[in-house]
Structure 1
Amino acid sequence: MAREGAALINLDLPEPTDISDIPNHPILQLIFFGNIEQEEAVLRGMPACEATRWTHLLCDIIPRGGGKHIGIQKVLDHYGFAREECMAFGDGDNDITMLRYAGIGVAMGNADAAVKAAADYVTTGTDASGIAKALRHFGML
């Protein structure tokens, strides 16, 4: 399943390694390769975490209450920008909170209906210069 999930996002899987040292390092996010039933089983053992799904075979496992919108908020706060000055692009369910948080949320044309519904604007797909087209639409290029 990991190979199939990685192929969906053009990801080369790393070679398996010894993970016994993991408890000695902070873990901020996991990319989980598995279906929804497997995700639910894993999350039962991780009560402080939640998942946001990319595809039927991939999800992010993050701290409960976290997400891409929190990362954007922290960057904006650090640099003194307002949400209204931020534009975010996304195509997966794991992008929905980010698209809703940003001043302008742009869904890629290849996104599913829930992602498009969360966005302020829908552009063309990632393989059809969607980001450039959206930036032109908003007068940024």
Structure 2
Amino acid sequence: MKPVFFIDYDNTIFSHQTWSIPESSLEALIRLHEDGYKIALASGRAFRSDSLPEEFHGRFAPDCLVSSNGAIIEIEGKLIHEKFFDPELQTRILDYVVEKNYCLMSGYNGKWVTSNLPRFREMASNKQRRLMPESGEAFRALYHQRVPSMFLSDTPEAIADLQAHFPEIKLLYMGDNLGGADIIPRENGKVKGAQRILDHYHTTFENCAAIGDSMNDVELIEAAGFGVAMGNAMPNVQARADYVTADVDHDGLAQAIEAAKKHFAD
């Protein structure tokens, strides 16, 4: 079969500079689909087939989802895997960030909540403030929700502290542009999710391309037959890729897709 494309969302498809999907990116995804390639949206976000970005509606839908860094896997609209935080571990993490006054973010039932709203307001960009989270009782209700991932919207020092305190989790730094880090159980990750999809299609990592920009993409970029880092990617992500494209706002995704197609055609 033709190679499978695993493509990150934030700062790979969706620009955090313009807070939108560049038209060249959307057109490139549509053409790739029309050319018969399978496309998996591989994101730290908890996407579901019924909650895709509104820019996709009526124009593009991925074949597969690797959401919440591999905790949620959908193939052709069917849920095949779902992994949540262990409740006891989740409680200990929440208690710790509250004790430390860190800014943890998470979503459930359509809500977006934080442990520290004043710190969110202090650190968030104007664009990020469009997604103003709830706090107080809404955050405390998170203790009783099953979530596949969380986000620490705080300093590199806070990220390092949380990682040192909880070896059972992985914190995946999003880089200086976005900031913060995804929090996932150590056994999760985009590579694990991608493997489930490749097994379904009876193919291998050698027959896939991976395109991304941050630390939650590195393992998948390294595992793929052709790994691409965006021009806006962190330097250590670029250093571990087979190819570095332009940034998301300068046709980087379209160029990455064409480079990958050429690689597999040669």
Give the TM interval when normalised to the shorter protein: 0.7 to 0.9
Deviations 1:107-130 (A, max 9, x none): 011122211111111111111111
Structure-2 residue corresponding to 1:128: 250
- Indicate the percent of aligned positions where both proteins have the same amino acid: 33
Picking from 26, 51, 67, the partner of 2:171 is: 51
Give 5+ residue unaligned stretches, structure 2: 1-118
Q: In the superposition, relative to structure 1, how do residues 46 and 102 fare at CA in structure 2: closer, same or farther (>3 Å)?
A: same
Deviating beyond 4 angstroms after TM superposition, the runs of 4 or more aligned structure 1 residues are: 3-6
Picking from 217, 227, 230, the partner of 1:108 is: 230
d(CA) in 2 for partners of 1:38, 1:51: 11
RMSD: 2.4
Pair 1:21 & 2:136 matched = no
Deviation at 1:45, TM superposition (A): 4.9
d(CA) in 2 for partners of 1:19, 1:117: 38
Q: Which residue identity is paired with 2:232?
A: N
Pair 1:139 & 2:258 matched = no
Structure-2 residue corresponding to 1:34: 154
d(CA) in 2 for partners of 1:4, 1:100: 35
Pair 1:93 & 2:211 matched = no
Q: Which residue identity is paired with 1:79?
A: Y
d(CA) in 1 for partners of 2:260, 2:133: 43
* 8 Å CA contact 1:123, 1:133 repeated in 2: yes
Deviation at 1:88, TM superposition (A): 1.0
Indicate the structure whose relative CO is greater, using CA pairs within 8 Å and at least 6 residues apart. Answer: 2
Q: In the superposition, relative to structure 1, how do residues 69 and 4 fare at CA in structure 2: closer, same or farther (>3 Å)?
A: farther
**Residues paired across the two proteins, number:** 139
State the TM-score, normalized to the length of structure 1: 0.82
Q: In the superposition, relative to structure 1, how do residues 45 and 113 fare at CA in structure 2: closer, same or farther (>3 Å)?
A: closer
What secondary structure, in the 3-state scheme, does the structure 2 residue paired with 1:19 have?
helix
d(CA) in 2 for partners of 1:88, 1:6: 29
Give 5+ residue unaligned stretches, structure 1: none
What secondary structure, in the 3-state scheme, does the structure 2 residue paired with 1:38 have?
helix
